[in-house]
A and B are shown apart, each in its own frame.
Chain A
Amino acid sequence: MTVESRSQAMAIAPQAMRARPRLAVMASIIGGLLALFAMAWDLQLAPGSLFSGLDKLALFGAAAIPPSDGGQLPRILKALGETFAMAFAGTCLAAVAALPLGVLGAKTVISQPVVHFAFRRLLDWFRGVPALVWALILVSAFGLGPFGGVVALALADVPSLAKLFSEAIENCDSKPMEGVRSAGASPLSELRYGLAPQVAPVMASQCLYFLEGNFRNAAVLGIVGAGGIGFELEERIRIFAFDEALFIIALYMICVAGLDTLSQKLRARLA
């Protein structure tokens, strides 16, 4: 009986009766390890270079304690505010620009497959340019200051936000829209009552998430001359004022953590 049922099962689904071959998994693990060693060799990731940098880092660390505001607390706070303003303005600008693009990128809006594919690939392609690269270009074009930074943050966010907005629109339930349509509503009212209440909280939550990220990125942009706290930090490090640099970093970390917590609470309420 068991032999008979076994052969019967073999005949129905022979693959399912055999253990899966593990050879491919082993080969990729070994291949991955070999590649890791080759790359470490090429980049000269030797323990020696680690130790030679470590003692310098220790010197910097010693010089940074105790941290000090250098009597410039108001100026640092102002720069911190400027960084937040940059992040906020950049996110708002990106959201406004991403909304129409996101609508156009949704499969449910533009159902023509070639146009949809081309549009999405274009967004993906622009997503490859990080905010730092945009900032380098824009600061040389518009000069030093937050303006270039805000535009850089917005440009870097638009493709990602547009893609997320498109997905939010595609994932929404079509039944409420059908219900509104069945009452004789026009297409715009259908979007207003059937679609917007579903996607607006998702979009707002995504914007908050991007605001968190932009507040962190805005510091890096300051270093390339786009104003804000990064600019102050870069200045302190250049003149080896590590105690003041540590003060700024600590203050900034507290602000980032505060914003993240606040934003997470808001996003949890939107969900």
Chain B
Amino acid sequence: MCLGIPGQITAITDPTRMMAMAEVSGVRREVNIAPIVTGALEDVIGKWALIHVGFAMAEIDEDEAEKTLEALRGLGEAQETLEAMAAGDAALEGRV
């Protein structure tokens, strides 16, 4: 649970709350981008970040994103994170 997963920021969804849409291994998830914003919010669109429990914690380059994702897949952590995201969605809808 201590490892971040790489994701690409695709759009700003709620500027007040610093929320953005990220694509994580083919799954779309809204994340908080406060830790990686240093200038205009829009500047992070298209950037890759390590996402940990819904927060973009560090900006990384695409090559690093690819390498990290491969390492996480090897450990089964990528799948675990995607399952946790699905569980989070289900919890919001009261399906669990």
A binds B: no
Binding site for B on A (CB under 8 A): none
Binding site for A on B (CB under 8 A): none
